[in-house]
Chains A and B, each alone.
Chain A
C-alpha cells in the first residue's frame, strides 16, 4: 500500500517536472509559431506581434506556465495556435487511433517474439536459430525508414492493401459494424506489420539471449539430468529467471504505446498522434506539443509502474531486496 502511494506521488511529481522542463526546453529553441508569416512580405510585423500577444507568447515563462497549469486543471491543456481549438479534445481524438495501432502491434509482437526467442534459444546453433539470428540482424541493421518505404513500394506494386488512412475514403456512411471493422483492419495491416517487424527483432534477440544464458546454467543442466521434462523445465525454472530483462522491455513497450509509432504513422498516413505532434513540433505549436508529451508521459509512468510490479512479482529475490529497503 505504502509502495503504491509512493509510486503515485512519484508519478505526479514526475508529470509536474516534465511539464515544467518542457516549458524551459521550448523556450530554448529559437523561433515561434508565427515566424513563418515573416516570409510573407504582405503581412506586417505588427500583425505578427499582435498574434503573438493574443496567444500570450510575449509573456514571461513563469506566467505562461501558470496560465497553462490553470488551463490544465480545466482539462483544456492550453490552446493550439494552428487549430484555434483547445488542445485536449484535439489530442484525445487522435490518441484513440494511435492506441488502436500500438496495442495491436504490441500484442502481436509479444505473442510472436517470446515463443520464437525461447524456441531459438533452446535449439542453439540449430537451423531455426541461425535463421532467426540472420533475420533479426537484418531487421535491426536496416534503418526503419528504408524498411517502411520498401514495404510501401511493394504494396503499391501489388495493390494488396490500401496505402494509408484508417478507413476507406468517401461514403463512410452505410458500412455495417462488421464492414467498418473489416475496413479498419485492412488499413491496420501495413503499419502493424512494420511495427511488429521492428519491435520483435529487438525483443527476440533479448529473449533469446537471456533464455540461452539461463539454459546453459548449471542448475538447469542438472535438472535436465535429473529427468525433468522440457516443458516443466521451461515454464517452472527457466522462464521466470530469464524474464528479468524481458519484463523491463515489456515495461518499455508499454511506455512507448503513445510515442513509439510516430514514424510509422507518418509514413503510412495513419491518423494518430504521430503526424499531429510531429507537425506541431516542427511548427512550434507549443501547447499542442506539450499536451502530447504529457499524454505520452502518463503512459511512460504507467508502463514503468507495471514493469516494476511485474519484476517484483516474478523475481522473489527482488521482493526480498525491496522489503529490506522498505
Chain B
C-alpha cells in the first residue's frame, strides 16, 4: 500500500511538473527579463487575416522602404525603444531602461537579459552593435541611415558590457529616443556572414527559408506563397507577458493576404475572408457601416490624421533653365498677397465634405488637430471670403477685365496649370474643386493629371510646373522629421529647393527656430519655438494648406484588444495584444 501510494505520488508529481511546463503557452522561465503588461488580458489561439494592397517586397528591415513591407517586417522584429501609437510617447522595449547624460548627448541603454530570437539564439549587445553597424554602412544604403546622422556626423555606438550599450550623439538632439523606433535589432548569428561577404542586399528576400530568418518580434515567418499570402506564426520566445504572466502573442497565426486594391480589401472583408482593414476611404467606411450588422464588424473613426494636403506654388530660382513662361508666372506667385488671397478663396469646408465625406478636418497650417501635442491653437482659421480675397488682389496690383478675368499689373490674364498625381483620386478631386473656386476670382486654372513619378520629377527635378497639389506628413507627431521641409536648405523645401541662402526674412527666422528646437530638450520650450514656426508659415503661406482625412479602420467584431491609432501602422502596432474571441475564426468563414 504505502509503496503504491508513494509511487502514485511520485508519478503525479512528475506528470504535474510536465504539465506545468505545457499548461500555459510558454510559461516564463525565471532567468528572462520580460516586459509585463499588467492591464492586458485575452484568449489564446486562432488566427487573424489582414488584407494588403500588394505584396511586400522584402523581409529585410534594413532595406525595406515601402509601408507594406514594413507592416509585415514590423511584426517579426522589435526595436530598442518603441513609440506607443496610442499615447504617442516612447516606451521601453528591448531596452528595459536608459539613462541620459546631463548634456543630452549620451544615452546608455540597459538591455533585457536572457531573451532570445525566434530561433532560440540568445540576444545581447553584440547584436545591437552589429545592427547599427549595418544601418550606418554606406555600402548598404539603408533608407534609415540618415536618421542616424545628425549634423553630418553618425551616431557612435559602444558596447559597455553584454547587456549595456552606449550611444553618443555629436550634439544634443531633442526627443532622441524616438529615433530608435523602427530600427529593428538584427540577429548577428544569421546575418553576419552575408554582411562580411558584401551580399547583405540579397539577404532576407521574400523567398528566404524560415530557418534563416529570425527576429525579436511577436511573430516569425512560417510560409510565403508568391503573389498570394504570407503566413506568420507565434514566436515562442517573445519577451512580453500579459497580466497573468502568460507569454504573448495571443494569436497562433497572422496571415497577410495580398488582395490588390482597397476595393478588393473591402470585398474580401465583407465576404469574411479577412478580419481587419488598416485604412479605409470614407466611401468604403459608409459602405461597411451600412453592412455592419450583417458582417458583424467594428468600425473606428480615429479623427484627423497627421498628413497635410496642400498646394505648392513654384518659387524656385529658374535662372539657367529654359522656363520663361513659368518664370513669368512666378512673379504672381511670389506676391504674398496673391497666395493669401488664394488661401481665402479655397472652400475647405467643401473639400472636407466632398472629398473626405465629412470625415476630415480643414487645415490652415502644417500641424492639424490630430497632433494634440504640437498643434498651435492660436493660428487664425479665417472663413472663406471671396470679397477679402478680391480686395487683397486689388491691393497687390491685380485688376479685372470686362469678362471677369483676372489681370496682373501688366494686363496679362492670370492663367496657370495645377498638376496632381492621377492615381490619387482625392487630390484630383481637390484640384477640380480648387479650379472652380479660383475661377470665381477670375483666375483660369488648368488641371493636369500626371502620373505620380512625373509629378515628383517636375517638382523635385526639372521645376517645370506652375502649381502642384501634394501631401506630406503622417510619419511621426514630433517636429524633427519635418526639418527638411521647413529649413531653407532642406531637401523637401518644396517651394524653393536648393536655396543657398534663405530667400526671405521669415524663412531665415524659421531656419533659426527649427535649429533651436532641434537641440532643446524641454518640451514646453520646444513647443513655444514650434508654435512661432507655425505662425510664420500660416502668415506667409508658402503652402496653401487644404485639409486632412480622418483615419478610418475596420475589424471583425470578434477581434479583441482592437485599439487602432492615428500613427502608422494603424491597426497592427499592438499585434501581440490582439486576440480573437470564442475559439477563433474559421478561414473563409461565413459571417
CA distance A170 to B149 in the complex (A): 42
User: Beyond A35-B453, A50-B138, A84-B58, is A40–B143 a contact (Cβ under 8 Å)?
Assistant: yes
Nearest B residue (CB) for A43: B143
Name the one of B146, B456, B461, B588 contacting A42, with C-beta atoms under 8 angstroms. Answer: B146
The residues of B with any CB-CB pair to A shorter than 8 Å are 47, 49, 54, 57-58, 60, 63, 65-66, 138, 141-143, 145-147, 149, 201-202, 205-207, 223, 225-229, 231, 253, 255, 257-261, 263-264, 267-268, 270-271, 273, 423, 451-454, 456-458, 460-462, 470, 472, 475, 481-485, 490-492, 587-588, 590
User: Beyond A35-B456, A172-B223, is A159–B590 a contact (Cβ under 8 Å)?
Assistant: yes
CA distance A322 to B264 in the complex (A): 51
User: Beyond A37-B65, A159-B271, A169-B587, is A94–B226 a contact (Cβ under 8 Å)?
Assistant: yes
Chain A residues whose C-beta falls within 8 Å of the C-beta of B452 in the assembled complex: 36, 282
User: Beyond A169-B273, A271-B227, is A82–B138 a contact (Cβ under 8 Å)?
Assistant: no
Nearest B residue (CB) for A42: B481
Chain B residues whose C-beta falls within 8 Å of the C-beta of A165 in the assembled complex: 228-229, 257
Nearest A residue (CB) for B459: A38
Nearest B residue (CB) for A51: B141
Chain A residues whose C-beta falls within 8 Å of the C-beta of B454 in the assembled complex: 29-31
CA distance A181 to B65 in the complex (A): 37
A143 contacts the other chain (CB 8 A): no
Interface pick from A252-260, A272-280, A303-311: A272-280
Q: Which of A144-164 contact B (CB under 8 A)?
A: 149, 152-153, 156, 159, 162-164
Contact: A50 with B141, CB < 8 Å? yes
Q: Which of A54-99 contact B (CB under 8 A)?
A: 54, 82-85, 89, 93-94, 97
CA distance A45 to B60 in the complex (A): 22
Nearest A residue (CB) for B259: A269
A216 contacts the other chain (CB 8 A): no
Chain A residues whose C-beta falls within 8 Å of the C-beta of B54 in the assembled complex: 275, 279
Chain B residues whose C-beta falls within 8 Å of the C-beta of A156 in the assembled complex: 267, 270-271
Chain A residues whose C-beta falls within 8 Å of the C-beta of B492 in the assembled complex: 38-39, 41
A44 contacts the other chain (CB 8 A): yes
Residue of B47, B228, B258, B482 most packed against chain A (CB within 10 A): B228
Contact: B587 with A97, CB < 8 Å? no
Chain A residues whose C-beta falls within 8 Å of the C-beta of B201 in the assembled complex: 54, 84
Nearest B residue (CB) for A52: B141
How many interface residues does A have (CB within 8 Å)? 53
Name the one of A30, A51, A166, A266 contacting B453, with C-beta atoms under 8 angstroms. Answer: A30
Nearest B residue (CB) for A271: B227
User: Beyond A30-B453, A37-B143, A170-B587, is A42–B58 a contact (Cβ under 8 Å)?
Assistant: no
Chain A residues whose C-beta falls within 8 Å of the C-beta of B142 in the assembled complex: 47
Shortest C-beta distance, B427 to chain A (Å), equals 13
Contact: B260 with A269, CB < 8 Å? yes
Name the one of A38, A85, A164, A272 contacting B456, with C-beta atoms under 8 angstroms. Answer: A38
Main secondary structure of the interface of B (DSSP, over half): mixed
User: Beyond A159-B271, A165-B228, is A85–B145 a contact (Cβ under 8 Å)?
Assistant: no
Contact: A284 with B453, CB < 8 Å? yes
Contact: B267 with A163, CB < 8 Å? yes
Contact: A164 with B141, CB < 8 Å? no
Contact: B587 with A269, CB < 8 Å? no
- 7 CB-based A-B contacts, threshold 8 Å: A39-B456, A39-B470, A41-B490, A43-B65, A43-B146, A169-B273, A275-B258
Residue of A35, A153, A170 most packed against chain B (CB within 10 A): A170
A228 contacts the other chain (CB 8 A): no
CA distance A243 to B46 in the complex (A): 58
Contact: B227 with A275, CB < 8 Å? yes
Extra contacts, 17 of them, besides A35-B453, A84-B63 (Cβ < 8 A), are: A32-B453, A37-B65, A38-B456, A38-B491, A39-B492, A41-B481, A42-B484, A82-B57, A83-B57, A83-B58, A84-B205, A85-B206, A94-B226, A94-B227, A152-B267, A164-B268, A169-B588
Nearest A residue (CB) for B270: A156
CA distance A29 to B451 in the complex (A): 10
User: Beyond A38-B456, A83-B57, is A276–B141 a contact (Cβ under 8 Å)?
Assistant: no
User: Beyond A41-B492, A47-B143, A84-B201, is A170–B255 a contact (Cβ under 8 Å)?
Assistant: yes
A177 contacts the other chain (CB 8 A): no
CA distance A94 to B138 in the complex (A): 34
Chain A residues whose C-beta falls within 8 Å of the C-beta of B63 in the assembled complex: 84
Contact: A163 with B273, CB < 8 Å? yes
Contact: B490 with A85, CB < 8 Å? no
Chain A residues whose C-beta falls within 8 Å of the C-beta of B231 in the assembled complex: 170
8 cross-chain pairs, A with B, having the tightest CB-CB distances, nearest first = A271-B227, A31-B453, A41-B484, A30-B457, A41-B492, A82-B57, A31-B457, A44-B146
CA distance A164 to B274 in the complex (A): 11
User: Beyond A35-B456, A169-B588, A275-B227, is A42–B475 a contact (Cβ under 8 Å)?
Assistant: yes
CA distance A215 to B229 in the complex (A): 53
CA distance A64 to B229 in the complex (A): 34
Nearest A residue (CB) for B60: A84
Chain A residues whose C-beta falls within 8 Å of the C-beta of B588 in the assembled complex: 162, 168-169
Contact: B264 with A164, CB < 8 Å? yes
A104 contacts the other chain (CB 8 A): no
Shortest C-beta distance, B213 to chain A (Å), equals 14
CA distance A267 to B268 in the complex (A): 12
A323 contacts the other chain (CB 8 A): no
A103 contacts the other chain (CB 8 A): no
CA distance A97 to B227 in the complex (A): 10
Chain A residues whose C-beta falls within 8 Å of the C-beta of B57 in the assembled complex: 82-84
Chain B residues whose C-beta falls within 8 Å of the C-beta of A272 in the assembled complex: 227
Shortest C-beta distance, B484 to chain A (Å), equals 4
Contact: A85 with B47, CB < 8 Å? no
A171 contacts the other chain (CB 8 A): yes
Chain A residues whose C-beta falls within 8 Å of the C-beta of B472 in the assembled complex: 39, 41
For A165-191 the 0/1 string (1 means CB < 8 A from B) is 111111110000000000000000000
Name the one of A163, A172, A266, A267 contacting B225, with C-beta atoms under 8 angstroms. Answer: A172
Shortest C-beta distance, B440 to chain A (Å), equals 31
CA distance A36 to B270 in the complex (A): 32
Chain A residues whose C-beta falls within 8 Å of the C-beta of B259 in the assembled complex: 164, 269
Chain B residues whose C-beta falls within 8 Å of the C-beta of A153 in the assembled complex: 267
CA distance A37 to B475 in the complex (A): 13
Shortest C-beta distance, B474 to chain A (Å), equals 10
